[in-house]
Amino acid sequence: MNPFVFHTPTRVYFGEESATSCGDFILELGGSRVLLVSDAFLEKSGMLAPIIESIIAATGNPPLIFTDVPPDSDISCVNRASELARANQCNALVAVGGGSVIDTAKVVNICLTFGGELMDYQGLNIIDRPLLPLVAVPTTAGTGAEVSFVAMVKDHDEGKKLMFGSPFLAPNVAVLDPLLIVSLPARLTAATGIDAVTHGIECFVASGTNSVFTNAICLEALRLLFEFLPQATVDGTNLEARGATLAASCMAGVAFTNSGVGITHALAHSVGAKYATHHGMTNGVLLPHGMRFNLATTAPQYARIARFLNFTSGGSDAEQAQILVDRVENLLKELKLPRTLRELGIPELTADNLKELVDMASSDPAIMFNPKEASDDDLLQLLKGAY
Amino acid sequence: MAVFADTDELHHVMVDLWTAIQSDAEMAAPLLSSRLIVTFHYREPDGRLTVDCSDGREMVITAGECERKPVVEMFMKSSVAHEFWMGKVNVPMALIQGKIVAKGPVNKALALLPAIKPAYGIYPSIIEKNGLKVSTT
């Protein structure tokens, strides 16, 4: 067995109405003045009300509410939220939302805890001590941001994404409340869910970093996602399906933050950075292509997933691995997700555009974890094939 | 036992290595076109090496203090650096384990890893030339 490291600093609470305990979690962690980070839609929908009530009941103080987080958060948003929090002496954060909201709260937490220049903390493992308490309440089931060690925000002035990575960035508590995702539209349910599927598959084959721990988590997460994601997409009020996808997404998050992802994510990051496409949908388009690229190297692992999911009853590893790829394609069809980059709304890719995408993907940290080395030409062919 | 006896020994080896990389057109070209300035901070023994490719034509290698502000900084034990150049470090695992700390736009530095791989073949001879043992810790 290869050496490995596995840890998850985040306590996970799962259950209907668990979000109404947010205040108690904050109090237990020593917080008293809370910055509540969310988005305008969730505020308008009234979904924040019980969380706000719980914070007031536990701490005696109403939280400062910051809901100006865009779908793809950026430095200016982080700075505005940080200033608000500092001006009001906040000493804890609650993030209620999707990946962008939770990532914003993580980066705000860096500013609030350490002060100084945010850029001094850009990178991997720079943050080497605990941050202020952060409770994350995901309202989508896909990103795994509620347990991951990484946060990404855009720097629009420089036209790039900034990455912050450290185990200390992981929220102290993740609250998984299926009631908070029942109103998530079908298309977003599918798109965020396929992100979690991608985490599970890419992490399971991550080169040199995966372990028996992450493998076990990935397999069960994938079982839940293949069974319940279609149900949650068709009937958002199905709480069993909602709960299963929420738990599976969190599990896949725990796995990938310990072992990494791969070529599909590297390409999706580059396409998303250039064309502002939805991260989950982009992963969905690219996942079968990434899997086919890896097939020769990863057939035994893909076959193992296929057997665990009862997709096969025999055959060679290569045959069973191909069945898994087919099942992923069927899942994309069933979820009515885009199947090509063209369907994602990306205009005709010129040679210059392709080169830019390849350059970004080849320097994306996710590519390091891919089990098969990819040349620039490999990446180019994958993008062309996905178009 | 530490691979390098002291800072001077560490600096000699690393300067020799980067000088060899600089003189290899195939390895130097992508580094120069990146125009990156990377500073490596070592500990046990302490040391610092800055590789400045910012003018795109000439690589400037500085051991110790350097006035140029780096774009990317890498922090690691000297033994990890030695293992890396011996081709024995699983970089993703080292990052996950916190054995390597990377400050700044990490992707720019990681993108250059494939370009410097041929230096794994050069490093043992540089170690031997400096009178050190090739074996890993």
Alpha-carbon dihedral angle through residues A179, A181, A182, A183, given to the nearest 10 degrees: 130
Could you tell me if A365 lies within 8 Å of chain B, comparing CB atoms? Answer: yes
- The pLDDT value recorded for residue B132 is 84
- The pLDDT value recorded for residue A186 is 98
Mean pLDDT, rounded, for B3-26: 95
B137 has a pLDDT exceeding 70:
no
Cα dist. A90→A18, A37, A59, A63, A83 in Å?
23, 12, 12, 9, 10
Residue of B nearest to A160 (CA): B105
Beta strands (DSSP E) in A109-203 are: 123-124, 134-138, 150-155, 160-165, 173-176
A321 — alpha (psi -120 to 50), left (phi > 0) or beta? alpha
- The pLDDT value recorded for residue B25 is 93
Instruction: For residue A129, give both structure tokens.
Output: 């001590």
Cα dist. A374→A288, A358, A370, A379 in Å?
16, 10, 8, 7
pLDDT band at B134 (very low <50, low <70, confident <90, very high): low
- The pLDDT value recorded for residue A349 is 95
- The pLDDT value recorded for residue B19 is 97
Please report residues of B whose CB lies closer than 8 A to that of A160.
Answer: 105
- The pLDDT value recorded for residue B136 is 55
Closest in B93, B107, B114 to A365, CB measured: B107
Which segments in chain A show pLDDT lower than 70?
A: none
pTM of the predicted protein model: 0.94
Establish how many alpha carbons lie within 13 A of residue A82's alpha carbon, considering only the half-sphere containing its beta carbon.
21
Q: Is the ipTM value over 0.95, yes or no?
A: no
Chain B nearest CA to A42, separation (Å): 33
> What's the whole-number average pLDDT of chain B?
92
Tell me if A368 and B91 make a contact (CB, 8 A cut-off). Answer: yes
Peptide bond preceding A130 in cis form (omega within 30 of 0): no
Please report residues of B whose CB lies closer than 8 A to that of A258.
Answer: 96
Instruction: For residue A315, give both structure tokens.
Output: 């055959």
Please report residues of B whose CB lies closer than 8 A to that of A208.
Answer: 90, 92-93
Tell me if A124 and B104 make a contact (CB, 8 A cut-off). Answer: no
Distance CA A165, CA A322 (A): 34
- The pLDDT value recorded for residue B106 is 87
- Three-state secondary structure readout of A63-98: CEEECECCCCCEHHHHHHHHHHHHHCCCCEEEEEEC
- The pLDDT value recorded for residue A313 is 84
Mean pLDDT, rounded, for B23-34: 94
Closest in A167, A208, A362 to B90, CB measured: A208
- The pLDDT value recorded for residue B3 is 87
- The pLDDT value recorded for residue A238 is 98
| Sign of the four-CA dihedral A343, A345, A351, A354 | negative
